[in-house]
Amino acid sequence: MNFIIVYSPEVSTINVGHRLLSLVDPLVMGVINITPDSFFDGGRYSQTDRALQQAEKLLKEGADILDIGAYSSRPNAADISEEEEINRLLPLVELLKKEHPECVISVDTFRSKVAEAAVQHGVHIVNDISGGGLDDNMFETVGRLQVPYILMHMRGTPKSMQGLTQYEDVVADICSYFVDRINKLRSFGVKDIILDPGPGFAKTIEQNFETINRFSEFGIFGLPLLGAISRKSMIYNTLEISSQDALNGTTVLNTILILNGAKILRVHDVKEAKETILLVRKLKERSK
């Protein structure tokens, strides 16, 4: 099917809980994985009190958004039920809403029932690694809930994605994927869409670097771009180090992402990301 889609000028705000978040300066999304098996911090914050302490640390360091994940998407991670994912997620959400009612919360899930339960308890953003590919009800649910949606590029599932890395042109193919899904999201009334090209998901290391190098090309959609490369294997495998030692590499690539148009950085290390944003802004001011 051939069609032409007209995109609006670049979006400069997102609507979260009837508040507008400005994207003039990039925002920082702090990661909290409340799973026992995530690639970097698995098990560290699986207890609600420890997760709350980490959330408070990230907020103190300047996190604009907290992204809570209760299902590990690393390759070959264990599958869990929707009920278990919800049961892991909601106690922390409820505590955050009580202790820090102004904080903006995102839920990292590809399941519409989990997304709906989270939003009903005060979550503001749905971050879906599957771009609606693993739950046919996700787009309808997000449209009905009227919350911002992070549309990520992935092929297959977390278990199968590493075998699905054949592209004619990785950036062009991701753009084609975005065109299709943006149209579907708009048909369900989703207003705030954020794009994540998905480094580390169904891409080789070389494809990940090409995606970052050509990140600005995704600006054609006029939608906010999210950069999510924090401590990923493309960094630590390239440098032959561990994820624990990948902060410096993360900062280097986050700098490239900002220069190429990233409006949100999804990171484990908020303080360093905020410093990166400030330094890049100062550089840009000097170049005017």
Tell me which residues are annotated as active site.
232, 266
**196 near 153, Cβ under 8 Å?**
yes
Residue 167, classed as helix, strand or coil, is: coil
Among 28, 26, 38, CA closest to 231: 38
φ, ψ (nearest 5 deg) of residue 189:
85, 15
Question: How far from 201 is each of 20, 149, 155, 180, 192, CA to CA, in Å?
Answer: 30, 18, 7, 19, 23
Place of tokens 């360091």: 61
Nearest to 42 by CA among 88, 83, 81: 88
Our separate counts of H helices and E strands in the chain read: 9, 10
Quickly list DSSP for 50-90. Answer: HHHHHHHHHHHTT-SEEEEESS--STTPPP--HHHHHHHHH
Give dist(CA 185, CA 117) in Å, integer.
20
